[in-house]
Chains A and B, each alone.
Chain A
Amino acid sequence: MTNNRFRTKFYFGILSLTAVLFFVLDIVLGSVSISLDEIFNVFFSADKVDTHISNIIINFRLPRACVALLVGVSLSVSGLQMQTIFRNPLADPYILGVSSGAGLGVALFLLGSSIFSVILPAVVSNFCIATAAFVGSALTLLLILIVSIRIRDIMTVLIFGIMFSGAATAIVGLLQYMSSQSALKTFVVWTLGNLGSATFDEIKVMFIITLTGLTIVVFSIKKLNVLLLGDVYAQTVGVNLKMTRIMVFVSTSLLTGHVVAFCGPIGFIGIAVPHIARMFFRRADHRILFPACILLGANIMLFCDIVSQLPGYSMVLPVNVVVAFVGIPVIIWIILSNKKIVN
């Protein structure tokens, strides 16, 4: 028992260190090569550096790294919760339809503005996209809460979520079909994900939402553990199911809502990281998996961001492309090396 605990703490320590390392690397590496000295100067003796360089660091790379960190943490923890509450290894943060709802919001906004030929400055337009996405995901959450309070069987809730996603996607398809080329491109680019568009004020919002979401999850950890055995066992050991579902759905919607709003629907992290955490720590206890998902999610998302910057090249890849290229081999490797992901 003690040996086990030591190993867990050791892994937590290592993962914290690598997270810091990746965070620094994410700032250091990019299309413009900047030395560590210069970066040090940007933060501690600003007068010694070129404003051009400090601009890149302060206004581009630092916010981007912060966003990557918040996105990785939020999606991983949401995925963990969804896989537990639906007792389904394929569940991801978007299974409730949060991203489809957000996508519908964004599509409505983009199509609407293209119909009325409103041309907005990029900053305003980004802000409006985020707002549209947030309203979309909040309304989805409301719908899910109403359904989950009225319906006892969690699988029915799951099917409802999938059906809602399908309906939202269909409407988005219709909107895409009718929309102008430029609006269509903006939408497609949004679906590819972008960690770099959030402003400092928006990052503050993301930070507060992430912290709120994580706090709710901390108080759900004990309930999530018992939910591993299913609703019947959870109830007979004293869990209030309705309350638990509300906590899980609200925190998941907060955590995924802000990601989708400010960065687009970023895939794979939410489904892959909880599995990686289970393989790594070989436990199903959420008191271990919750911090493990936070650390692994931060590490992996920062790593993906570094790759997407293509250090040394002037091009930047869409983050969803990189996440898929990094995520898919990991999932395949896990499946092949463990033979099975569940049971």
Chain B
Amino acid sequence: MEHQSIKIENLSLGYGNSTHAKHEIFPPFSVTADNSQFIALVGRNGVGKSTFLRTLTGLQNIFSGNIYINEKIANNLSRKDYADLMSFVSTETIRIMHLKVFDLVAMGRYTYTNLFGNLSANDEKIIVDSLKMVGMSDFMWRNVSELSDGERQRIMIARALVQDTPIMILDEPTAFLDIPNKYEIILLLKNLTRQKSKTIIFSTHDINIALQLADKIWLMANGKMHEGSPSQLMQTNAFDEMFVDTILKMEDGEIKFK
């Protein structure tokens, strides 16, 4: 019996709190993510994808509505609880002098290591295995600052992997990558949902990749959240909502000029 990894009820997105003026940027919506589903979050720049992911990962307070993560109420979770449930890969590019790939990936073991951060033999094995899984074993003692964008993204995924969480969230993991790298990274993530039964949610601007590989798409467009499998969303012409007021349209799964 599959359980729901994430259940979102009447969540609206926005900024502000009791002291500052409240500003809603996206009206309430409800979506769900099943265990080991591969979900693409699609929408135009500024629609609120990042705000949504920040809210989902607890980096930003819930504006209104409810989030349940593995059936736990998100509002009651501490940072450590979050870290046990979901790992996160942001869009930020990490370039730090003398930071070894191994040391960066090891940071994902934060909640598992002792007070001083010493790695056990088991921790080291998990780090080595994760690097193998993302195809970066040979880079273990290289400096992070010397890696290409594609290599760095794999390392960041390995770092999320060693955190060993049921859910993984990635904010635009394919930005800055060339086309072969884009596909490789997304296929790598999809394999993780199948082999490690992780639930993975990633935001992306690559609609073609999302249509081809995602199990489900969350489409934020025109003030509405559309949820469904790629084919369902194609049938209901949901993608046209995304191109309202633009020179583009969606036709037979391809983006064309109107």
Name the segment of A108-116, A178-186, A228-236, A263-271 touching the other chain: A228-236
Name the one of B87, B102, B103, B115 contacting A225, with C-beta atoms under 8 angstroms. Answer: B103
Q: Do residues B117 and A343 form an inter-chain contact, with CB atoms below 8 A?
A: no
Residue of B nearest to A286 (CB): B117
Name the segment of A56-64, A95-103, A160-168, A237-245 touching the other chain: A237-245
Whole-angstrom CA separation of A222 from B106 in the bound complex: 11
Does A332 sit at the interface, judged by CB under 8 A? Answer: no
Q: Do residues A285 and B116 form an inter-chain contact, with CB atoms below 8 A?
A: no
Whole-angstrom CA separation of A225 from B118 in the bound complex: 12
Contact A226 to B110, CB < 8 A, known contacts A221-B116, A235-B59: yes
Residues of B close to A118: CB separation below 8 A: none
Does A122 sit at the interface, judged by CB under 8 A? Answer: no
Interface string of A187-223 (1 = CB under 8 A from B): 0000000000000000000000000000000110110
Residues of A close to B141: CB separation below 8 A: 1, 4
Name the one of A225, A235, A343 contacting B107, with C-beta atoms under 8 angstroms. Answer: A225
Contact A237 to B110, CB < 8 A, known contacts A222-B117, A232-B88, A287-B117: yes
Q: Do residues A278 and B57 form an inter-chain contact, with CB atoms below 8 A?
A: no
Whole-angstrom CA separation of A341 from B145 in the bound complex: 12
Name the one of A1, A240, A287 contacting B79, with C-beta atoms under 8 angstroms. Answer: A240
Residues of B close to A225: CB separation below 8 A: 103, 107, 117
Shortest C-beta distance, A342 to chain B (Å), equals 5
Residue of A nearest to B117 (CB): A222
Q: Do residues B117 and A221 form an inter-chain contact, with CB atoms below 8 A?
A: yes
Name the segment of B22-30, B90-98, B186-194, B232-240 touching the other chain: B90-98
9 interchain residue pairs of minimum CB distance = A238-B83, A222-B117, A236-B88, A284-B99, A237-B110, A238-B111, A238-B80, A343-B95, A284-B98
**Interface of B toward A, CB cutoff 8 Å:** 57-59, 78-80, 82-84, 86-88, 90, 92, 94-100, 102-104, 107-108, 110-111, 113, 115-118, 141, 145, 163
- What are 25 A-B pairs at a CB distance below 8 A? A1-B102, A1-B141, A4-B141, A219-B115, A222-B113, A229-B107, A232-B88, A233-B107, A236-B57, A236-B83, A236-B86, A238-B82, A238-B83, A238-B111, A239-B79, A239-B110, A278-B98, A282-B98, A283-B98, A283-B99, A283-B100, A284-B96, A284-B99, A285-B103, A287-B118
**Interface of A toward B, CB cutoff 8 Å:** 1, 4, 218-219, 221-222, 225-226, 228-230, 232-233, 235-241, 278, 281-285, 287, 340-343
- Other A-B contacts than A218-B116, A228-B96, A343-B97, 19 sampled, CB-CB below 8 A, are A219-B115, A222-B117, A226-B110, A229-B92, A229-B96, A233-B88, A236-B87, A236-B88, A237-B83, A237-B107, A237-B110, A237-B111, A238-B83, A240-B78, A283-B100, A283-B103, A287-B117, A341-B97, A343-B95
